[in-house]
Amino acid sequence: MEDQQHNRPWGVDLKAFCLLMHLAQFAGFIIPGAGIILPIVMWVTNKEQFPEVNAHGKNIVNWILSLIIYLVISFILMFAIIGFFLIFALIITNIIFIIIGAVKANQNEVWEYPLSIKFFK
């Protein structure tokens, strides 16, 4: 029983934990900032112990940081009207990417979010 707990981050099955790390980004739609903080906390607290969590976490954080940069640029471009369309496109893209990442995690696959800048390799 003790050994089984060491293979379970936060007491959750490893595959389910990786899936939840991706889906945790949706928490930001309910509580501002939670979609950024929760996946990062999940990653940082388990990255040393579980290589799978580390791989998923790096991809998620790379996407979150990239998305923030893209949103700032889009906000600036709102003065040229195109920013409104870019923000809408980024929101839709974010939702699609989170769902794809979660599905891939559930299939034991590490999926790199397209368009993400590689801050963590």
Q: Helices 51-77 and 34-44 sit at what angle, rounded to 10 degrees? A: 150
**Cα separation of 66 and 72, whole Å?**
10
The per-residue pLDDT for 5 is: 56
Could you give the maximum distance between any two Cα atoms of the chain, in Å? Answer: 60
Query: Of how many residues is the chain composed?
Result: 121
- What is the model's pLDDT at position 7? 72
Could you tell me which residues come within 8 angstroms of residue 85 by beta carbon, excluding any fewer than 6 positions away? none
Q: Which residue positions in the chain have pLDDT lower than 70?
A: 1-6
